[in-house]
Amino acid sequence: MKVLLTGGAGYIGSHTYVALKEHGHEIVILDNFSNANRLVLDRLAQLFQEKVEHVEADIRDRSTLDDVFEAHKPDAVIHFAGAKAVGESATDPLKYYSNNVSGSQTLLEAMDAAEIRNIVFSSSATVYGVPQALPLTEDHPLSSTNTYGATKLIVEDMLRALHGADPRWSVAILRYFNPVGAHPSGEIGEDPGGIPNNLMPYITQVAVGRLAQLKVYGDDYDTSDGTGVRDYIHVSDLAQGHVAALKLMNTGTCTPINLGTGTGYSVLDMIKTFERVNEVSVPYSIAERRPGDVAANWADAQRAKELLGWQAQLGIEAMCADGWRWQSRNPKGYDQTN
């Protein structure tokens, strides 16, 4: 298929580019580089010895979207573009409504006008709010605990309404759990600007000496060792999940699907495994709980297996080894002059 990746220069988008290329798909990236480094395009080009087809544009720019659809005529869109920092969504909510909600609406309007009615959307396990039961199935009630989550829920609702009104739309709503790690080449990986919000990039930056110490947010949760438990998924597995989700295009269905491993690990499991697998030390101290965190969540990954024939293959050792390969080879991320 020919696939447009909005936000394709970002962390998950760049890994999905690799997976799609390996499956012979044709790809165009559309990204405004608000949270990505242009050097990622050079790395992708090196991996495949081929120029990366890309457009520097914002998904809120309707006339450019029209031009892109006219010029490239993609069969489907995988829609990663958006802002994703939970904390920032509290202090700058309009950025989230504009980028995530208005941006998605503009994209869908342009797709409809161009008669491209196949979309895979990056949603998040955050739409389950505070888990009422584990594992989280796709039927778990939806709610939001922060503005970022609220915008994901609105876009999911927009997609459900659109499909309800016009069943020619095919929609795969992928609810990611916690993507971590990097492509095994060490050439692409997660390169957050500023101090990382998330556990894995924080661990890798402590290990490489960019940050002094990790704070473990709480050790008094009702979990095996008291620290928070999450369903970490290797970003390469997640990328393969997108390739598999293309099966749902042109089916006239609208389906939410969890992309997780089905297994939860604690913060201390992640630190200890990272240290053991990579033979590095990750100094940490126990700190207060982070407001808004839940004790534990992990996916019921059955639906992805049944509908997509997809399941995660890589365990936390690979997540830790590959995350470290990326960070140790690129201590400052893509731009070593930082």
- Contact residues toward ligand UFG (CB under 6 A) are 84, 86, 124-126, 148-149, 178, 197-199, 202, 214-217, 228, 230, 267, 290, 293
Q: What residue type is assigned to position 74 of the chain?
A: P
Regarding 35 and contact with ligand NAD (CB under 6 A), the answer is: yes
Tokens of 225: 């060792």
What is the secondary structure of 191-220 as a DSSP string? Answer: --SSS--SHHHHHHHHHTTSSS-EEEE-S-
CA separation, residue 117 to residues 80, 109, 308 (Å): 16, 10, 19
81's contact among ligand UFG, ligand NAD, none, with CB below 5 to 8 A by partner kind, is: ligand NAD
Q: Which of the following is catalytic: 148, 176, 232, 265? A: 148
Give the nearest residue (CB) to ligand NAD: 10
Q: What is the DSSP letter of 305?
A: I
Residues 75-114 interacting with ligand NAD (rule: CB under 6 A): 80-84, 99, 103
226 close to 220: Cβ distance less than 8 angstroms:
yes
| Residue owning tokens 């809120």 | 60
Residue 170 or 190 having the CB closest to ligand UFG:
190
199's contact among ligand UFG, ligand NAD, none, with CB below 5 to 8 A by partner kind, is: ligand UFG
**CB 256 to ligand UFG: min, Å:** 14
203 close to 150: Cβ distance less than 8 angstroms:
no
Active site residue 148: yes
Regarding 34 and contact with ligand NAD (CB under 6 A), the answer is: yes
| Residue owning tokens 């009422």 | 132
Regarding 267 and contact with ligand NAD (CB under 6 A), the answer is: no
**CB 33 to ligand NAD: min, Å:** 5
Peptide bond into 135 cis (omega under 30): yes
Count of other CB atoms within 10 angstroms of residue 225: 13
Footprint of ligand NAD on this chain (CB under 6 A)? 6-7, 9-13, 31-36, 58-60, 80-84, 99, 103, 122, 124, 176, 178-179
What residues act catalytically?
148
